[in-house]
Amino acid sequence: MTLTATEFLRRFLQHVLPRGFVRIRQFGFLANSCRTARLKLARQLLTAAAEPPEPCAPIASQTWTCPRCGGPMTIGPRLNAEDLAIQCSFFDSS
């Protein structure tokens, strides 16, 4: 691939760290001095977290009360535009 000088410099300078920053590759849990021990510990912790949780009891269906009459409210079917038009024409008294 052929690049112009300005494009090459732009791409190259994306990899240069600002003054005061250090590469984190040499530090942290992946540092050479403790990499194998820390990776082993991380893998153990990940497998322990991957165990399925205990099944919990089913949640009872939620019911709401009507603010006007105090009776139980139920959720009706979801209607699309065509169903709504049929319902409206059914209730239309004109």
- Give the closest residue to 29 by CA, choosing from 38, 16, 21: 38
- C-beta of residue 13 within 8 angstroms of C-beta of residue 5: no
Question: For residue 55, what pLDDT is reported?
Answer: 65
Q: Which two tokens stand for residue 33?
A: 């001095």
Q: What CA–CA distances, in Å, run from 16 to 6, 8, 21, 89?
A: 16, 13, 10, 69
**pLDDT tier, 56 (very low <50, low <70, confident <90, very high otherwise):** low
Position 59 scores a pLDDT of 54
Q: Which helix (H) or strand (E) holds 72?
A: strand 72-73
Question: Span 58-75, mean pLDDT?
Answer: 75
In one-letter notation, the amino acid at residue 24 is I
Give the span between the Cα atoms of 44 and 42, in whole angstroms.
5
pLDDT tens string 2-49: 999 999 999 999 888 888 887 776 666 677 777 888 888 888 888 876
Q: How far apart are CA 40 and CA 30, in angstroms?
A: 11
